[in-house]
């Protein structure tokens, strides 16, 4: 499956960016069939209406109940950068603004320092893509997100600074399914 025209325009715009955050050579991206959101069998004990992220598999599962879930391929952070545990979706945003965290700037000032003031939603260098689900634990923002990306070729890799990234069209599908208060389990 080829990306939509909108996705290709966003990906092309992202290639203009400098630095490792979003820079990549221009390319036509064909999405492999096994990267498409797919309804699959899962453990029947999983409650419906939850998100389960499996770090070792680079997969996210939206549970439907009765032993079924929709599987998405994701990009995650390098070892030691991922959120782990249970959280809730306490906020959702379309074309979200982005500001790197203080830790991101401290650990990689050359990459994130220029963006310390943040980027508006829809900006070509904004790594959050078209949608974001904000993860909270005990009422506090974890600073981790499930979000889109203008870099679909990063799926299945340890690429992000710790957030869960999906192809923009895939995060839009998930976003429409997930209500506020949804439980997210990352392991």
Residues known to be catalytic: 147, 163
Which stretches of the chain are assigned E, i.e. beta strand?
Answer: 38-41, 51-54, 59-65, 68-73, 76-77, 85-94, 131-137, 140-147, 158-160, 164-165, 183-186
Contact 125, 14 (CB under 8 A): yes
Which stretches of 4-67 are assigned E, i.e. beta strand?
Answer: 38-41, 51-54, 59-65
* Helix, strand, coil percentages for the chain (3-state, nearest 5): 20, 35, 45
Tally of CB atoms within 10 A around 98: 19
Give the residue among 156, 157, 136 at the shortest CA–CA distance from 72.
156
Contact 133, 163 (CB under 8 A): no
d(CA 165, CA 184): 14
């Amino acid at each position: 499956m080829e990306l939509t025209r909108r996705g290709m325009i966003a990906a092309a715009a992202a290639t203009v960016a400098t630095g490792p955050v979003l820079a990549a050579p221009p390319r036509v991206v064909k999405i492999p069939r096994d990267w498409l959101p797919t309804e699959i069998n899962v453990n029947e004990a999983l409650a419906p209406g939850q998100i389960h992220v499996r770090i070792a598999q680079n997969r996210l599962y939206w549970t439907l109940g009765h032993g079924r879930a929709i599987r998405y391929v994701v990009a995650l952070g390098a070892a030691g950068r991922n959120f782990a545990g249970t959280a809730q979706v306490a906020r959702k945003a379309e074309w979200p603004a982005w500001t790197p965290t203080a830790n991101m700037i401290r650990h990689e000032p050359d990459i994130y320092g220029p963006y310390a003031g943040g980027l508006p939603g829809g900006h070509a260098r904004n790594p959050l893509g078209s949608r974001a689900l904000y993860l909270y634990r005990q009422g506090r923002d974890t600073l981790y997100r499930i979000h889109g990306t203008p870099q679909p070729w990063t799926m299945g890799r340890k690429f992000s600074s710790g957030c869960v990234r999906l192809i923009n069209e895939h995060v839009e599908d998930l976003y429409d399914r997930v209500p506020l208060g949804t439980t997210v389990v990352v392991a």
